[in-house]
Amino acid sequence: MVTRRPFAFALLSLITLSGCNTPSASSTDSMDRIQALQTMGRSGHEQDVPRILPSLSSEDPLVRWTAQRTLVTLTGTTNGYDWAADRLDRASAIEAWVKWCKDRGLTPPEAR
C-alpha cells in the first residue's frame, strides 16, 4: 500500500512557498495551475468542473492531486478518478467526468 501523506505535506509546502501570481488553470506553470484549482474549489461553483478536467491529465502529480481534491470539494465524488493511477485508468475516469458534465448541461473541454 502506497502512503500519500508525505505527498500531501510536500504539496502544502510548495503551495506555501509559491509566489503571488495570478492563477490560471491553463498555465504551463504547475504552481499557477494549482492556485487556480484551489480558487475554483473555494468558489463552490459546479460550473467550474469543465475547466478542471484538463488538469486531471497533467504530467505533474501535484496538479492531478489538486484537481481531484477540487472536484471532490465541488461535487462530493471522484467519479472513479485516482490521481496516482496509471494513465489508462485515469483516462477512463476522465471520460466519466466528461459524461458527468454533459448530464448536467455543462460543456466539457474538447478531447485531446
The residues spanned by each domain of the chain are 5-103
d(CA 94, CA 107): 14
Least confident piece of the model among 21-30, 67-76, 86-95: 21-30
Q: What is the pLDDT of residues 65-89, one digit of tens each?
A: 999 999 999 999 999 999 999 999 9
Q: Which band of pLDDT confidence, cut at 50, 70 and 90, is reported for residue 109?
A: confident
d(CA 53, CA 94): 7
- The predicted structure's pLDDT at residue 8: 53
DSSP 38-107: HHHHHHT-GGGHHHHGGGGG-S-HHHHHHHHHHHHHHHS--TT--TTS-HHHHHHHHHHHHHHHHHTT--
77 or 3, greater pLDDT: 77
Name the packing angle between helices 5-17 and 30-43 (round to 10°): 100
- The predicted structure's pLDDT at residue 93: 96
Write down the pTM of the prediction.
0.74
Q: Which band of pLDDT confidence, cut at 50, 70 and 90, is reported for residue 7?
A: low
| Mean confidence (pLDDT) of the chain | 82
Q: Cell triple for residue 82? A: 485516482
**Mean pLDDT confidence for 30-34:** 91
